[in-house]
Structure 1
Amino acid sequence: MGLLALLNHAVNFAAPAFWLALLLPWLDRFLTGKKASALSRPRQFGLIFLAGLVVLALGLVLLGQDGKMLTYLALVLTAATGQWFMRRG
């Protein structure tokens, strides 16, 4: 596997966590109409993205294959729980 193919796989592996982390803080503020958290949006993005990458990596290691629906369910639950905890701060 070449460097470009490896980079392509890494970007596509992290894409679900990236988009979820990017959209979740914005949607939270949009839907509730008030300040979502004591943390800034970039910090919320970073925390959710990091947690999402950990969940995706654990799903790959434990299930032996990337892209399992159980992994994506765990990703969404982890991101939503993290956003909920940040909102309580």
Structure 2
Amino acid sequence: MTFAQLLFHLANFVLPALTMAVFMPLAGRWVMGTAAMGWQRRMLCHAVAGTLVLAAGLLLQGHDGRMATYVVLVLVSATLEWALHRGWRR
């Protein structure tokens, strides 16, 4: 595997987490209104949490791309957005 192929493979591995990181702050504002934290920091939190979920799914299941991992990614992203909006106060 060449270095370019490795970079391409890693980029495709984290692409679902980065896509969720971009869209969750927008969806959170649409559903829950404004948040106490800025959208850049929320996007960073989602990117880190999503990448950790994908890495854990790879380690636990043996290979990436399983639907169970993507379900957990969506649940973690939604829960994180709720927590960043301080949803328990509403």
Gaps of 5+ in 1: none
The corresponding residue for 1:5 is 5
Aligned residues: 87
Report the Cα distance in structure 2 between the residues aligned to 1:87 and 1:9, rounded to whole angstroms: 33
Taking only the aligned residue pairs, the percentage that are identical comes to 40
The corresponding residue for 2:86 is 88
The one-letter amino acid of 1:18's match is L
The corresponding residue for 1:64 is 62
How far 1:29 moved relative to its partner?
Answer: 1.2
The corresponding residue for 1:19 is 19
Report the Cα distance in structure 2 between the residues aligned to 1:31 and 1:53, rounded to whole angstroms: 24
Gaps of 5+ in 2: none
Report the Cα distance in structure 2 between the residues aligned to 1:31 and 1:55, rounded to whole angstroms: 24
How far 1:30 moved relative to its partner?
Answer: 2.5
How far 1:28 moved relative to its partner?
Answer: 1.8
Report the Cα distance in structure 2 between the residues aligned to 1:19 and 1:8, rounded to whole angstroms: 16
Q: Provide TM-score, normalisation by structure 2.
A: 0.92
Q: RMSD across aligned C-alpha pairs, in angstroms?
A: 1.1
Runs of 4+ in 1 over 4 A off after TM superposition: none
Q: Provide TM-score, normalisation by structure 1.
A: 0.93
